[in-house]
Amino acid sequence: MRVVVVFFTLALCAATWALDNGLMRTPPMGWLAWERFRCDIDCDNDPKNCISEQLFMDMADRLSEDGWRELGYVYVNIDDCWSSMKRDAQGRLQADPKRFPGGIAKLARYMHDRGLKLGIYGDMGTHTCGGYPGTTLDTITLDAQTFADWEVDMLKFDGCYSNATEQAQGYPSMSKALNATGRPIGYSCSWPAYQGGLPPKVNYTELGQICNLWRNYGDIEDSWGSVLSVADWFFENQDILAPAAGPGRWNDPDMLVIGDFGLSMDQSRSQMAMWAVMAAPLFMSNDLRTISSGARTILQNKMLIGINQDPLGVQGIRILKEKSGIEVFWRPLSAGASALVFFSRRTDMPYRYQSALSKLNYTSGRYQVHDVFSGKTDALKDSTPFVVSVNPSGVVMWHVSAPAADKPRLHTGGKLRGPAYYRHDDNNNDLPPAFL
């Protein structure tokens, strides 16, 4: 019992690591322009798809009218190419007057009137990645106050056209400047993505005190190969990344491309499942005006969103890589529950994967297993063999509940079949490896 208490105390201490703005205690959800609409500024010839206030108002209407907002998708995030090429006479950033005639403050009011939040893009450097005015060390305070005056709710802070020294000073300085405005502004920083991969040159404990979420890896593309490369990088480096995540501080594997052009339905379910297991922010980058019913069903899956938004906030891990091409991922959830994902790398045909919960290190007992995508529910004893049929590049995802008298816990006497394992606090909640 004494050991468990020590672990629980460490968990409570770890909660203070997060950025002290009280925001994003669960992974943020919403819509982000970049992957789908990039830097399209040709509003004369492409008025429906160019980066303009109308595009973001259209997406806000869809989020507020088509059931997205009630599920948690509340951020509408502008990315690069929104600003004028020059600052105003007072040195402040300003929106392009032709494409954003009402300015960013008007757009923020439009979001807030619909129960949504507005995110904006900036860059720690002389220019943004698209060549627009960036934020230098001299303008951090001014730019933070400008965003607050516009009533922006989130800042994505990129890192093009700056060096490591400037970033090391600039990213923490922007965090302090945002907090000093008095307006709650969620802070997404791209610092790790510019620091040369792993082992990280950025201290992840320090990072959790500075940013609410951070980009670790390159931009995602609208292809299965890109989605898989991002997921592989995150799970191959889960020893370092998973302990860094928690309420108010999240690893960000980038946007959901479900509903675009590059993924099949099975691959779309796979991205959604793996992002949920990773406790990743869920920012869609698609066209909500024309999204298919199949993609909408995946993105609006309530049980899957509930797994992603679990308040315990522990990032899941890959626990098995089978020679058959099947991989198994696991995430601990609050109230002793857990999520399991069976993913197939195969490209030939559906594979019937056989296992048992006991083989996945669940302790003895009877569990309620809910299939996240089919909606079926079954009772399953830990020792009872089961078979799941997993489509090529597809997943089967389970939510595993515990009977009240016998909550499921993984064995803690040795390592889980992977590089990390979990113990439990006095409330039977799983604690991540960082607390061991």
Report the Cα 99 to chain-centroid distance in Å: 29
- Report the phi/psi class of residue 272: left, alpha or beta, with left for phi > 0 and alpha for psi in -120 to 50: alpha
Contacts within 8 Å (CB) and 24+ apart, 324-327: 324/351, 324/353, 325/351, 326/351, 326/353, 326/390
Query: Which residues 6+ apart lie within 8 Å of 108 measured at CB?
Result: 118, 150, 151, 152, 153
Q: Which two tokens stand for residue 345?
A: 């790398």
Domain boundaries, the chain: 2-8+315-435, 18-308
Query: Which residues 6+ apart lie within 8 Å of 209 measured at CB?
Result: 17, 18, 19, 20
Catalytic residue positions, numbered: 158, 219
Give residue 202's pLDDT. Answer: 79
Give residue 19's pLDDT. Answer: 82
Which class would CATH give 2-8+315-435?
Answer: mainly beta
Give residue 197's pLDDT. Answer: 66
Q: How far apart are CA 18 and CA 21, in angstroms?
A: 8
Q: How far apart are CA 380 and CA 174, in angstroms?
A: 50
Q: For every one of its 436 residues, what pLDDT tens digit does the chain have, with 9 covering 90 and above?
A: 222 232 233 333 344 446 889 999 999 999 999 999 999 999 999 999 999 999 999 999 999 999 999 999 999 999 999 999 999 999 999 999 999 999 999 999 999 999 999 999 999 999 999 999 999 999 999 999 999 999 999 999 999 999 999 999 999 999 999 999 999 999 999 999 998 766 667 799 999 999 999 999 999 999 999 999 999 999 999 999 999 999 999 999 999 999 999 999 999 999 999 999 999 999 999 999 999 999 999 999 999 999 999 999 999 999 999 999 999 999 999 999 999 999 999 999 999 999 999 999 999 999 999 999 999 999 999 999 999 999 999 999 999 998 535 444 444 333 333 333 333 333 344 433 332 2
Neighbours of 356 (CB within 10 A): 14
Instruction: Please give the model's pTM, rounded to 2 decimal places.
Output: 0.91
Does this chain's domain 2-8+315-435 share its CATH topology with 18-308? Answer: no
Give residue 414's pLDDT. Answer: 36
* Domain range 18-308, CATH architecture: Alpha-Beta Barrel (3.20)
Give residue 422's pLDDT. Answer: 39
Length of the chain: 436
